[in-house]
Amino acid sequence: MADVARAAEHPSVQGPARNLSLEEVARGRKPPWLRVRMRLGPNFTDLKRIAAGGRLHTICEEASCPNIFECWEEREATFLVGGDRCTRRCAFCDVSTARPEDYDRDEPRRVAEAVARMGLRYAVITGVARDDLPDGGAWLYAECLRRIRARATGCGVELLVPDFRGSAESLQRVCDAEPEVLAHNVETVPRLFARIRPAFTYEGSLEVLRRARGMLPEGRFTKSNVIVGMGETHEEVVQAMADLRETGCDLLTVGQYLRPSDLQMPVARYVPQEEFEAWGEEGRRLGFAWVEAGPFVRSSYHAGRQHSAARGVRNAEFTSEKQARNGPLLG
């Protein structure tokens, strides 16, 4: 009981983790309500077979996403392009950091083929950082989108991109392909940024979203993600949300950090559901078209539903503004 008492008294331990010992918190032990049940159904097996057959990587597998069983059973997946070796290291990420393999220019064709075979209506494409490439991998994102549009007509495409080392030219190349959603994740708050994402900058990430908002045509959306439970405060998350909204960001996801292995930073706290709900309310007040906040939420979680909901909200706002300008319709 002494260990449990110390955890409850420790200022950095909040939420359900206060009922665990400090040793258990350091190991990243999850409370009972934060555990995922495996569902290895036929869709999961089929999707895994298609991805493996196409020699493709998914962020679902590489980042040890807790939603993989749910999403794959619903035939939703996020493809990881550019290989499975990243040129950067983030403190929370389970993707390997190493010298990348050769550039695979046939990968977009195989991704599009897999999307078509899976019958996806909405596909998310993300990738490892490729600082070894002159364009940071911008061509790869844009070509994946073009190939999917040609092979799987009607499939929406979301691109989750890195910062391209601040290159406006690379970002423009991606935006010119006109994805339904252009996403770039800040992941954490300014105070923790240098420690958690040392190869990125907070202002640089905001600038990606700000530029993308101006480069995309009307009717397209920008999106970002914040991971909580890494040492931030509630108020710092609210400020990060306000910073994101100032860039014109339309969609926001907020989810609990779950330590993939002992190689990543430990969990600082487990956030209670009511705090996620409060962030959701704050996001709507700030003017985001859609906010998805919860323990298992990730940037690509139910991404198609998020896009559809955001589109509905913005369409309703447009109709309301038009009626306000023109006056009520007469019968």
CB-side neighbour CA atoms (13 Å) of 95: 23
Which architecture does CATH list for 28-321? Alpha-Beta Barrel (3.20)
Distance CA 105, CA 80 (A): 14
Mind listing the pLDDT tens digit of every residue in the chain (331 residues)?
334 334 444 443 343 334 444 344 444 466 665 665 656 666 677 767 777 777 777 766 655 666 666 766 666 778 889 988 999 999 998 888 888 888 899 999 999 999 998 888 889 999 999 999 999 999 999 999 999 999 998 899 999 999 999 999 999 999 999 999 999 999 999 999 999 999 999 999 999 999 999 999 999 999 999 999 999 999 999 999 999 999 999 999 999 998 888 889 999 999 999 999 999 999 999 999 999 999 989 888 889 889 999 999 988 987 877 677 776 655 5
Q: Phi, psi at residue 309, to the nearest 5°?
A: -65, -45
Q: Residue 131 phi/psi, 5° resolution?
A: -70, -10
The string of DSSP codes covering 117-160 is: HHT-SEEEEEE---TTSTTTTHHHHHHHHHHHHHHSTT-EEEEE
User: Considering the entire predicted model, what is its pTM?
Assistant: 0.83
Q: Round to whole Å and give the CA distance between 310 and 315.
A: 9
Can you give the residue ranges of every domain in the chain?
28-321
